[in-house]
Amino acid sequence: MSIDTVTAADGTGPLHGIGASVPRDDVDAKIAGTFAYAADLWAEGLLWAAVLRSPHPRARILSVDTTHAREMPGVHAVITAEDVPGEALYGRGRADRPVFASEVVRHHGEPIAAVAADHPDTARMAAAAVIVEYEVLDPVTDPESAFEAEPLHPDGNLIRHIPLRHGDPEAAGEIVVEGTYRIGRQDPAPVGAEAGLAVPRPDGGVEFYVGSTDPHAHRDAAAACYGLEPERVRVVVTGVPGADADREDPAFLLPLGLLALRTGCPVKLAVSREDSFMGHTHRHPTLLRYRHHADAQGRLVKVEAQILLDGGAYADSSAEALAAAVSFACGPYVVPHAFVEGWAVRTNNPPSGYVRGEGALQVCAAYEAQMDKLARKLDLDPAELRARNVLATGDVLPTGQSVTCPAPVAELLAAVREAPMPELPKDTPVEEWLLPGGPEGPGDPSAVRRGVGYGIGMVHLLGAEGSDEVATATVKVKDGVGTVLCAAVESGQGFATLARQIVQEVLGVEDVVVAPVDTDQPPAGAGSRGRHTWVSAGAVERAAKMVRTQLLQPLAHKFGMSTELLQIAEGKITSYDGVLSTTVVEALAGKELWATAQCRPHPTEPLDADGQGDAYVGLAFCAVRAVVDVDVEIGAVRVVELAVAQDVGRVLNPAQLRARIESGLTQGVGIALTENLRTQRGVVRHPDLAGYALPTALDAPDVRVVRLVEERDVVAPFGAKSVSTVPVVTAPAAIASAVRAATGRLVNRLPIRPQAAVVTGQ
């Protein structure tokens, strides 16, 4: 993979502080293999857990007999729904999900029982020895039939319905294009499968050692389930082995902690890959129908859309995902009249939840396909058509919210249009070309067509619709070493590095330690939608500035000047006139300075009955140009290059920024081409990494970062926008557009199936 960027990160810049490519501090341990993940944890006398899952997507449970399992030597506890002491149901936003299914099973893989034993194999065998009698029922797996089907849950089958109405329903354009689109079920497929350790406390509570991405919410769920006060449940966050969705969520934690409480022993659960696929939530499979109206010049007049999210068996974050899908259904384009109806429904499919860019990704693939269709009908260059419609600051979204943040969409699109094309391998021998199908593959240059496509995507930052976004951070400094305490989990997004950079910048100290996270600290929220870059980093900055004032006040007082006239850089404090020059260590004089601060962005409001409202704090945009090679006889697709221009607000760490963009684009390649967790009548097929094809190094395209637009968002700390999500959202749309250009086919499904990328000549 070659990397090409406009900002140099070759070590010529500063070594610390904001804007520097400060390396992560866990790099050495991760390379050496000494970094401790939850799966590496050990406790004296620990037991191993295993979970029994339903083999049926829908069934009535007639009986559960744990006698044999309990009698097996080495088994310490077998628990079922009857053993849950507190709230039987949990869930994000809506408590609708049982810890263990007791009367009915609503999806394949739903937990029925859990076992603690002295060996993982014993635990698995004992789980298999639990006898469950089912009356198998016909599953509802087609989300379109969920409306008519009998209720799968006491809460009904409709999780949320948003009828967005904006503008004049009678408006019509001269040109109309329609399309139906389907998006598959992407799995977060984290590099490290879920693992954790639960340890009982002397006070009757329990402690979790897990790579949780939202520790406080998970603690609260566990406390409610066990009927304990939240203070008696503690979540200690260990090394997180990759997260692009919720990790070690209550579905994983609740049985584990319950086993520890029941046995009085530490209990460890390290799930198999199959269990990982069955246990966590996935991206919402989505069906979208669109009608775009435009005038003869290609300017959008009206968009009508119907969006149906398959929420699976439980609500989880489907309501949030639907809000994003409906709000951004028209994309970063000016659309005067929009009528979008969205539904999230319950089925007997595996539960859907949050994966990066949820909601926004599905609609991006659809509205960009519509833009290609419109361009074809108008005989316009697809990039030119997009340029005629792009959104800018001051425009109004279909939700009625004005875009007040920087929205340099036109500039992003222009940048990727102007970027040089990848060079053709004309100087290398044909045998060395990397053709679709891979090295040593069946590729034949005469059957390969190259296509170029464009995608523009948008996401919202932070939680929406009135959710309280708040983070608290503490900064202390002693003997020239800074420490950050904040419950924002470093899940690979770079928060810990950013926190170090902030303290380096504000306090001029080079050594900064970020303390481990646990729920004794005040909450910082889930690590999704860019929250930590904005809210948690904002709290760290505020706390660091308070410490700075404490540090400088006595000096300023002594020299009769205000603290603003003093500067801290490279560990030295100097005054504007050079009279004062001392070091931070001297100024501290052995004292330890502390400060704690909160950051709470401006409030938002829920979408109303017409889908209108100022629901979002911030927006981020990016444009992607995809270049693909398609073997049009067998339908093999290789993404040659993704050129990206992104609205980042401000570059805080160039090296990390580039890594985040690359990882996001590669995840986008996955959903565009291969990633789809297939089900057959609700039964998950091939829950393993051979059947679920992630992109490999050979599938990852060259990434060309052509422009990072640094227009600071005045309401965000540092003016920076989170960068990880919007490339995930945009890449699939751009790749589909490029395959469309190469083959002339419709390409209305993700992932793109080989039969949709062949040119049959008929």
Partner 1 sequence: MPHAPHAPQAVALPASLDEAVDALAATPTAVPVAGGTDLMAAVNSGRLRPSALVGLGRIAEIRGWQYQDGHALLGAGLTHARMGRPDFAALIPGLAAAARTAGPPQIRNAGTLGGNIASAAPTGDSLPVLAALEATVIVAGPGGARREVPVSHLLAGVEMLRGGELIGYVRVPLLHAPQVFLKATGRTGPGRATASVALVLDPGRRAVRCAVGAVAPMPLRPLEAEQWIAGLIDWDNSRALVPDAVTAFGDYVAAACIPDPAPAADGSVQKLPPAVQHLRRTVAALARRALGRALS
Residues contributing to the site for partner 1 (CB under 8 A): 74, 119-122, 124-125, 128, 272, 274, 434, 436-438, 440-442, 444, 447, 633-636, 638, 673-674, 690, 693, 695-699, 753-755, 758, 760
Using the minimum distance from each CB to partner 1, give the nearer residue, 116 or 566. 116
Q: Cβ of residue 226: shortest distance to partner 1, in angstroms?
A: 30
Q: Cβ of residue 316: shortest distance to partner 1, in angstroms?
A: 28
| 416 closest CA partner among 208, 724, 627, 252 | 627
Q: Cβ of residue 196: shortest distance to partner 1, in angstroms?
A: 19
- Tokens encoding 97: 């999900």
Q: Cβ of residue 695: shortest distance to partner 1, in angstroms?
A: 7
Using the minimum distance from each CB to partner 1, give the nearer residue, 283 or 638. 638
d(CA 652, CA 81): 48
Q: Cβ of residue 51: shortest distance to partner 1, in angstroms?
A: 14
Q: Cβ of residue 439: shortest distance to partner 1, in angstroms?
A: 8
Expressed in angstroms, the distance from the first to the final Cα of the chain is 37
Using the minimum distance from each CB to partner 1, give the nearer residue, 342 or 436. 436
- Tokens encoding 210: 């897990």
CA-angle at 399, arms to 394 and 401, nearest 5°: 35
737, amino acid identity: S
265, amino acid identity: C
Q: Cβ of residue 270: shortest distance to partner 1, in angstroms?
A: 11
- Tokens encoding 448: 């390969």
Using the minimum distance from each CB to partner 1, give the nearer residue, 43 or 176. 43
Using the minimum distance from each CB to partner 1, give the nearer residue, 636 or 651. 636
- Tokens encoding 134: 């089912």
418, amino acid identity: E
Using the minimum distance from each CB to partner 1, give the nearer residue, 48 or 134. 48
d(CA 127, CA 319): 34
| 536 closest CA partner among 620, 474, 616 | 474
| 348 closest CA partner among 58, 699, 27 | 58
Using the minimum distance from each CB to partner 1, give the nearer residue, 437 or 494. 437
C-beta neighbour count of 218 within 10 angstroms: 28
| 63 closest CA partner among 113, 11, 7, 132 | 132
Using the minimum distance from each CB to partner 1, give the nearer residue, 227 or 442. 442
d(CA 416, CA 643): 6
Q: Cβ of residue 435: shortest distance to partner 1, in angstroms?
A: 9
Q: Cβ of residue 271: shortest distance to partner 1, in angstroms?
A: 13
759, amino acid identity: V
Q: Cβ of residue 52: shortest distance to partner 1, in angstroms?
A: 13
Using the minimum distance from each CB to partner 1, give the nearer residue, 436 or 453. 436
Q: Cβ of residue 490: shortest distance to partner 1, in angstroms?
A: 29
- Tokens encoding 642: 């993704």
Peptide bond into 285 cis (omega under 30): no
348 neighbors 57 (Cβ within 8 angstroms): yes
223, amino acid identity: A
User: Residue 268 pairs with which residues in a beta bridge?
Assistant: 48, 197
Q: Cβ of residue 636: shortest distance to partner 1, in angstroms?
A: 7
| 730 closest CA partner among 461, 454, 493, 462 | 454
Ramachandran assignment for 417, one of left (phi > 0), alpha (psi -120 to 50 degrees), beta (any other) = alpha
Using the minimum distance from each CB to partner 1, give the nearer residue, 149 or 693. 693
**Chain centroid offset of residue 68 CA:** 42
d(CA 229, CA 487): 20
Q: Cβ of residue 672: shortest distance to partner 1, in angstroms?
A: 11
- Find all residues with CB under 8 Å of 679, minimum gap 6, and list them: 57, 108, 141, 185, 349, 350, 685
d(CA 565, CA 421): 50
Q: What DSSP string describes 639-708?
A: EEEEEEEEE-SS-S-HHHHHHHHHHHHHHHHHHHHT----EETTEEP--STTTS----TTTSPEEEEEEE
- Tokens encoding 53: 């899952």
Using the minimum distance from each CB to partner 1, give the nearer residue, 441 or 719. 441
**Strand, helix or coil for residue 382:** helix
Q: Cβ of residue 683: shortest distance to partner 1, in angstroms?
A: 17
Using the minimum distance from each CB to partner 1, give the nearer residue, 482 or 695. 695
Q: Cβ of residue 664: shortest distance to partner 1, in angstroms?
A: 19
d(CA 612, CA 399): 4
Using the minimum distance from each CB to partner 1, give the nearer residue, 70 or 650. 70
Dihedral pair phi/psi, residue 750, rounded to 5°: -120, 140
Q: Which residue has the tokens 């199936």?
A: 753
Using the minimum distance from each CB to partner 1, give the nearer residue, 74 or 719. 74
Q: Cβ of residue 71: shortest distance to partner 1, in angstroms?
A: 15
Using the minimum distance from each CB to partner 1, give the nearer residue, 361 or 757. 757
| 127 closest CA partner among 81, 80, 83 | 80
Using the minimum distance from each CB to partner 1, give the nearer residue, 150 or 440. 440
| H/E run at residue 319 | helix 318-327
